[in-house]
């Protein structure tokens, strides 16, 4: 194999394909190993639930056709994802370039009366075939134009004859209409015909079963041989082929044919179970409608939703789903955001209010200005999180993968010993022990064990996403299940993050208008909750902010800016005291405010105090209940805040939790690092200043209303801004880990039982294949129970 890193001057590209037909983690392993052997290929990742193959490819090494051929030779369908888009993800349902003109050609007058049936307006039922994904996803932002072009083409090739993995065209069909289902029917007919022939002509009955076995096992053997050529001798297909052919040599043709049939049945069951596990994730993509009513002047025209760009305006009629993240410019209506946040009660939204793609307009027509492109809207970001989360594998999953690498060779070695030792050492009959050795081979596939973790993780992530609880992978779920301490930022997390000015204290000859004009000038352009409170107060008082420039944040202390050409500060009383912006009397007044649970800031110029502004931010209504739930779960809650101890104590006392006050960002970081040595720590924050602490914690959780920096840095996100979603996240994670433990017990338990019974001759070949398939199906079905789990229910 060529050295993938020998030519350091080679440019590389991150490329992606859609691969269909994967039933379990063993499928992903086969693809990963086969593709990873090719020259120039590195960083191979195969995601089962999102059906994605992602790798880094050096230019001028392995052509796309060879990669696709390697995957097809293993019996899977593969199509390249579209390249050259702006982000790592393009929402399914986009219309190909060639179709844009046709789609945009439908022009409607704004006032035209369209016959909309409200009951039919739920676009979530739209069926996106895998071909949609292949046409509209892409290789990734790192692809060079040359490479991107190579992978954007639509390869219509199909797998080799006899392959029984899922075909994208089979989606939505009944099991007997699918490729796998037809193979089951075919092998059943072969088996039935053999039994009839044996009944009518016993002399040739054996050969009828031999023929049924060979015909049925042929496609399986073909895939086993393809895997063998790629250096993978230990696959379920190879074990199945050896067992079936071996059974023929010991005159067990009838049982061999039955095993082939049961193997085909097992693959159908595995495919159905895997498809159901994917349905929750696929449903997210279907939340956004395929088309939108684009407003151009006084008319509207129907365009693909995937072609909308920032700044355009769309018309959303009652009953329709909103096609993009945006801001309402005209109209007031109830908006059902349950597809995104899980909140079932529609919220009244009007001009200036933000809305999510996928939310349902329930009452009146709205005009919405697009604020995020289709590749970056809320639904797309959720799907991207879920897809990328598959790459963040749980430690348990990584351990099981390592275990499975030696488990199957070990089983093959044990089977060989079972076949050889009794006849050679003790003179036992060869037929008996060959038969038992073959049964051991069928037990040896670790599919159930390997799928036990990803199936549970995918179900848990899907359940969380439906309720606005996003977790970035199995590693996050496993860490969240072990959390002992939850640390909260105060502003915008435990509180609404919308403080209001309650008091103004003036110093010297400063007037109220002057105080507000200077303070608003310093805070102009800031999105901090305290800054917004000051700006709103100035606006309500009819005061115009003084012009300012060169604003600079004093991390955890305040803000300084040149206001009217002279430096001015809005800072904490302690900082103001240290820099001549507050005297002893002013500090005492600030202390009184803080004892009342208010936050006080000092406004001053160089050595010249101007006044104090006091604000209060009320706790969220569910904050106290969230703390109670966490306590009942054995989790300690702590506030980490930059506020003074008196303000922090007032909030903490009302909620019943501990607090740490006067904390700079680096103090929060040090505190989390310290307590992290004693157990799992979850940090909840919403601001840029929380980003370091979110990263340091075992699990960092961003509130959905927080900044993009916090959302990107965090391991999880709470979209509904409900504090009770924190215990719900921990509850879901613990349920997922319990489910994983159950799955591992089922997988290993069944294997252990049937390994023993096979060695002692208590169970035969057909029971062995049933046990192997049954374990995989049981594990998957058990994981699917998490789709019905309600993390908000206590107990």
Cα–Cα distance between 362 and 119 in angstroms, integer? 11
With tokens 């007997």, the residue in question is 176
What is the Cα–Cα distance from 378 to 253, expressed in whole angstroms? 57
Q: For residue 98, report the phi and psi dihedrals to the nearest 5 degrees.
A: -65, -20
Q: Are strands 699-703 and 716-718 parallel, antiparallel or unpaired?
A: parallel
DSSP reduced 3-state for 230: coil
Structure tokens at 244: 């079936």
Helices (H) and strands (E) in the chain, counts: 26, 27
Q: CA 120 to CA 124: how far, in whole Å?
A: 10
Contacts of 553 by beta carbon, 8 Å cutoff, 6+ apart: 559
Whether the CB-CB separation of 167 and 180 falls below 8 Å is answered with no
Of all helices (H) and strands (E), which one includes residue 19? strand 12-20
The Cα–Cα gap between 336 and 359 comes to 6
Residue 470, classed as helix, strand or coil, is strand
Residue 369, φ and ψ in degrees, nearest 5: -90, 125
**C-alpha to C-alpha distance for 391 and 474, rounded to whole angstroms:** 9
Rounded to 5 degrees, what are φ and ψ at 502?
Answer: -110, -30
Sheet with 608-616, strands from edge to edge, namely 500-506, 608-616, 599-605, 566-571, 558-563, 548-554
DSSP per-residue string spanning 629-648: HHHHTT-EEEEE-SS-HHHH
Token output for 666? 């680096």
End-to-end Cα spacing for the chain: 55
CA 241 to chain centre: 37
* Token pair of 339 as six digits: 């597809």
Phi, psi at 685, each rounded to 5°? -150, 175
How far apart CA 437 and CA 331 sit, in angstroms, is 73
Minimal CA–CA distance to 27: which of 367, 455, 487? Answer: 455
Candidate list 489, 617, 715, 721, residue with the active-site label = 489
Nearest to 598 by CA among 584, 612, 579: 612
Instruction: Name 464's Cβ contacts closer than 8 Å, sequence gap at least 6.
Output: 470, 471, 729, 732, 791
Active site residue 353: no
List residues with catalytic annotation.
489
């Amino acid at each position: 194999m060529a050295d993938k890193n020998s030519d350091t001057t080679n440019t590389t590209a991150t490329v992606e394909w859609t691969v269909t037909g994967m039933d379990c983690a063993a499928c992903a392993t086969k693809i990963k190993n086969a593709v990873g052997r090719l020259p120039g290929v590195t960083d191979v990742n195969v995601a089962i639930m999102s059906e994605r193959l992602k790798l880094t490819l050096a230019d001028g090494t392995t052509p796309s056709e060879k990669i696709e051929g390697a995957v097809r030779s293993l019996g899977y369908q593969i199509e390249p994802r579209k390249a050259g888009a702006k982000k790592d993800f393009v929402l399914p349902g986009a219309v190909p370039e060639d179709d844009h003109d046709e789609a945009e050609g439908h022009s409607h007058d704004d006032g035209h009366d369209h016959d909309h049936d409200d009951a039919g307006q739920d676009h979530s039922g739209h069926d996106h075939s895998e071909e949609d994904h292949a046409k509209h996803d892409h290789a990734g932002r790192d692809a060079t134009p040359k490479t991107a072009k190579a992978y954007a083409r639509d390869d219509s090739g199909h797998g080799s004859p006899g392959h029984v993995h899922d075909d994208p065209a089979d989606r939505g069909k009944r099991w007997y209409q699918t490729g796998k289902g037809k193979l089951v029917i075919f092998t059943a007919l072969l088996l039935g015909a053999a039994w009839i022939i044996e009944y009518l002509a016993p002399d040739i009955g054996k050969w009828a079963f031999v023929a049924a076995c060979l015909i049925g096992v042929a496609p399986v053997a073909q895939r086993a041989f393809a895997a063998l050529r790629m250096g993978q001798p230990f696959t379920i297909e190879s074990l199945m082929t050896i067992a079936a052919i071996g059974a023929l040599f010991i005159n067990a043709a009838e049982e061999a044919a039955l095993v082939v049939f049961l193997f085909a049945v097992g693959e159908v069951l595995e495919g159905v179970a895997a498809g159901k596990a994917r349905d929750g994730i696929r449903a997210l993509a279907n939340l956004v409608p395929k088309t939108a009513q684009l407003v151009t002047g006084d008319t509207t025209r129907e365009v693909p939703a995937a072609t909308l760009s920032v700044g355009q305006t769309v018309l959303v009629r009652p009953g329709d789903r909103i096609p993009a993240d945006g801001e309402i410019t005209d109209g007031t209506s109830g908006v059902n955001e349950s597809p995104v946040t899980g909140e079932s009660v529609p919220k009244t939204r009007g001009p200036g209010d933000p809305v999510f793609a996928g939310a349902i307009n329930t009452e009146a027509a709205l005009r919405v200005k697009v604020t995020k492109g289709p590749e970056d809207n809320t639904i797309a970001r959720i799907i991207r999180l879920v897809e990328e989360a598959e790459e963040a594998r749980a430690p348990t999953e990584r351990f099981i993968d390592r275990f499975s690498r030696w488990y199957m060779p070990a089983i093959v070695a044990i089977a060989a010993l079972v076949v050889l030792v009794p006849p050679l050492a003790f003179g036992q009959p060869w037929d008996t022990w060959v038969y038992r050795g073959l049964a051991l081979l069928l037990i040896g596939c670790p599919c159930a064990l390997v799928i036990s973790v990803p199936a549970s993780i995918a179900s848990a992530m899907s359940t969380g996403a439906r309720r606005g609880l996003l977790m970035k992978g199995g590693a996050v779920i496993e860490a969240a299940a072990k959390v002992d301490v939850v640390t909260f930022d105060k502003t915008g997390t435990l509180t609404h993050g919308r403080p209001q000015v309650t008091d103004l204290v003036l110093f010297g000859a400063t007037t109220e208008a002057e105080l507000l004009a200077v303070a608003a000038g310093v805070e102009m352009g800031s999105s901090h909750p305290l800054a917004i409170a000051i700006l709103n107060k100035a606006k309500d008082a009819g005061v115009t902010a003084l012009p300012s420039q060169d604003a600079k944040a004093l991390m955890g202390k305040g803000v300084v800016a040149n206001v009217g050409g002279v430096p001015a500060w809005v800072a904490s009383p302690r900082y103001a005291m240290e820099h001549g912006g507050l005297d002893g009397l002013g500090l005492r007044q600030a202390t009184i405010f803080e004892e009342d649970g208010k936050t006080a800031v000092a406004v001053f110029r160089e050595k010249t105090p101007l006044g104090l502004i006091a604000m209060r931010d009320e706790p969220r209504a569910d904050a106290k209940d969230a703390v109670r739930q966490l306590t009942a779960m054995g989790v300690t809650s702590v506030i980490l805040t930059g506020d003074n101890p008196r303000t922090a104590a007032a909030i903490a006392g009302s909620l019943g939790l501990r607090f740490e006050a006067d904390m700079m960002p680096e103090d929060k970081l040090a505190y989390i690092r310290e307590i992290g040595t004693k157990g799992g720590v979850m940090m909840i924050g919403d601001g840029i200043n929380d980003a370091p602490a979110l990263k340091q914690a075992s699990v960092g959780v961003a509130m959905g209303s927080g900044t993009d920096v916090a959302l990107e840095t965090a391991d999880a996100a709470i979209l509904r801004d409900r504090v009770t979603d924190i215990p719900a996240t921990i509850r879901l994670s613990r349920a997922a880990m319990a489910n994983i433990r159950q799955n591992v017990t089922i997988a290993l338990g069944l294997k252990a039982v049937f390994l023993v019974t096979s060695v002692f001759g208590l169970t035969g070949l057909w029971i062995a294949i049933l046990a192997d398939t049954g374990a995989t199906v049981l594990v998957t079905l058990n994981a699917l129970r998490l789709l019905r789990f309600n993390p908000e229910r206590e107990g």
